[in-house]
Structure 1
């Protein structure tokens, strides 16, 4: 089987397991919906290792799991490494894009809220 088809099938399978739409995956991975759609349905869409890493991170998995030919089912990564959820990743990315002082103020406020919840 073509590696592009394997990757596309594994992405679709994992995305469905997580209950994510293509739109959410695109948002979480900072890629376009069109790109995600082409990856999942054709073998003509090539992907860079950087984009594959972004998708794997958004899908809370590793690149090896997206490359593995496993039949028709996605398999969880063997690693016990904790991967942040898509919303945590998106929040982190947003904080990284802010001015450092503003990001620090928001992070401090988030930590205070969390301390009050405990």
Structure 2
């Protein structure tokens, strides 16, 4: 992998962290991004706040946190376009797939763009 791609993946990770911190209140502590074709895959640890961890101790709370961190995050990206991500990779953002393992505080987001981003 070229050094340029690695640097852009790191910049992408920083932008994702910043976006989530700004719009959700807490960004992930660790994030690793890799580009594959039209996808940017972000693997994250440490996204949940202490309050979310507390709420997740019950089954109902767990479901609520999972829903907020998957469905609501996808809706956020639909409403507030990640134009800084688009500018960085030179492609239009189309959609986001997201999931989180609440127990382990691990999340994955797959950003789909309109053209390949792994050939920067």
**Does the pair score TM above 0.5?**
no
Greater radius of gyration (CA): 1
TM norm structure 2: 0.28
Structure ranking higher in strand proportion: 2
Which structure has more relative contact order (CA 8 Å, sep 6+)? It is 2
TM-score (norm 1): 0.29
